[in-house]
Amino acid sequence: MTPSEVMRIGQEAMRMTLLLAAPVLLVSLVVGTIVSLLQAVTQVHEQTLSFLPKLISVLVVLAVGGGWMLEQTVAYATRSFDRAPAAIHGEDAP
């Protein structure tokens, strides 16, 4: 396995990680910012008030996009397992 193949595999793994984590993180960030602004405006600084909306929004994103995330993960794992023999034996990957 050449260094360029290792880099390609690493890049694909990082791309998949970002693709799967981005929706959850972005929704959590947006909801957290909105709640923080509301807390600053109303001067109500309750810890559970900031945690609960983020938790609910993350659960909604996972419920809505969970199937897509699972499909992406299975496709990535399948591609990785299909390329494993070629990588181990030093043959050209498909």
| pLDDT, average across residues 27-38 | 93
Q: Give the total number of structural domains in the chain.
A: 1
Asked whether residue 75 is assigned to any structural domain, the reply reads yes
Cα–Cα distance measured from residue 12 to residue 59, given in angstroms and rounded to the nearest whole number? 26
Asked whether residue 45 is assigned to any structural domain, the reply reads yes
pLDDT band at 91 (very low <50, low <70, confident <90, very high): low
Report pTM.
0.76
Asked whether residue 94 is assigned to any structural domain, the reply reads no
Helices and strands, counts by H and E, the chain? 2, 0
CB 50 within 8 A of CB 32: yes
Q: Look up the domain containing 78 and give its range.
A: 3-89
Sign of the four-CA dihedral 7, 92, 74, 77:
negative
Which pLDDT value is given to residue 94? 52
Which pLDDT value is given to residue 65? 95
- Helix axis angle for 3-42 and 47-89, nearest 10°, is 170
Query: Which has the closest alpha carbon to 83: 20, 8, 28?
Result: 8
Asked whether residue 8 is assigned to any structural domain, the reply reads yes
